[in-house]
Amino acid sequence: MSASFASALGAARDAAASQHYPGGTLYVVATPIGNLADITLRALHVLQLADAVACEDTRHTQSLLRAYGVDKTPAQLLAVHQHNEAEAAQAVVAQLHQGLRVAYVSDAGTPGVSDPGARLVAAVQAAGLRAMPLPGASSVTTALSVAGAVSHGGETGGFVFAGFLPTKSAERATAIEQHWAREPRCVVLLEAPHRIQDLARALAVLGERPVTLARELTKQFEEVTTLPARDLAAWLDAAPQRSRGEFVVLLHPLARTDDDGGDSLRVLRLLLQELPLKTAVRIAAEITGASRNVLYDTALQWKRDAPGDAD
């Protein structure tokens, strides 16, 4: 256990032990997204109290628990991840029927949002058992809180969680064109470091629409920056470390006066059916006001992704 957390367990017991923690309950526990100090006192108490801890990765969770001074045997750690969630959920349900307390944690953040957990909770509820949330860290709300991207009221109020877009470039471009480019509210995306450049290039069709990139949240090299969508790829290229770490990507609300990207892409697709690529790009840019370079790069990507071409 880290010495810095030695007093935290006592504080957790003092703050949370007087509350009721019934047996036969699944406790869905948020864990830090990077900074270990972001654990809650109630989470620490429940992790100590739990008869078993279901988790996305047993080795990762064992290390996390040991950092806090919470001792669990290997037999008390149950692997419940995206590849076995449906089957493993039944093992958890069986333990809950015995009156045990089971905590569920993902590798980081709040389970059941972009991480596993939703199927497990559904199985527990279908069995007539209780799932109790223990709120805490979330990369989504952490990024939203410092982006200034959520407006209130009207058609642009609130935000939409889209999570990870398709990994194949053609499917990703279609999702942006048909759905997210036209969505007037703030759109929350997640992306891994090895695909962030591809996503940045795909989002360039949004032109001047502001986009916030948040990476390494709560960690030593945390970075949050807001740029026009067309500048994202160049910003990432300017320094290799900018592509490191997990990303939350926020598309700011759509301004009524801006081209949302969707119109220019639809015009470009129609023109490409009848005209050579360069001519179609030039005319689409003149009609919609979109960047000719962005439209040209997009058209080339569509050509590469056409049936029969490798992704």
pLDDT digits (tens, 9 = 90+) for 136-167: 999 999 999 999 999 887 778 899 999 999 99
In the numeric block, the tokens 């988790």 are attached to 55
The pLDDT value given to residue 1:
52
112, 54 Cβ separation under 8 angstroms? no
Residue type (1 letter), 13? R
Q: Which residues does the chain have with pLDDT short of 70?
A: 1-3, 256-262, 306-311
The pLDDT value given to residue 17:
92
Q: How many CB atoms lie within 10 A of CB 255?
A: 13
Strand partners, 79: 55
Please give the class, per CATH, of domain 3-137: alpha beta
**Dihedral over Cα of 111, 116, 117, 122: its sign:** positive
User: Which CATH architecture does the domain made up of 138-311 adopt?
Assistant: 2-Layer Sandwich (3.30)
d(CA 120, CA 26): 9
The pLDDT value given to residue 101:
98
Per DSSP bridges, beta strands 210-215 and 247-251 are antiparallel
- Spatial neighbors of 99 by CB under 8 A, at least 6 apart, are 23, 24
Please compute, for residue 187, the number of CA atoms within 13 A of its CA located in the half-sphere on the CB side. 21
**Dihedral over Cα of 21, 132, 186, 293: its sign:** positive
Q: Please name which of 96, 38, 93, 102 lies closest in space to residue 72, comparing C-alpha atoms.
A: 102
What is the H or E stretch that residue 54 is in? strand 52-55
The pLDDT value given to residue 307:
65
Strand partners, 212: 226, 250
Domain ranges of the chain: 3-137, 138-311
The pLDDT value given to residue 258:
42
pTM for this entry = 0.80
The pLDDT value given to residue 308:
57
d(CA 259, CA 261): 6
Measuring CA to CA, how many Å separate 161 from each of 77, 81, 138, 148, 266? 30, 21, 13, 16, 24
The pLDDT value given to residue 257:
45
In the numeric block, the tokens 């940045």 are attached to 200
Residue type (1 letter), 40? T
Instruction: Outline where DSSP puts E strands in 111-243.
Output: 130-134, 159-163, 186-191, 210-215, 223-228
Please compute, for residue 16, the number of CA atoms within 13 A of its CA located in the half-sphere on the CB side. 18
169, 64 Cβ separation under 8 angstroms? no
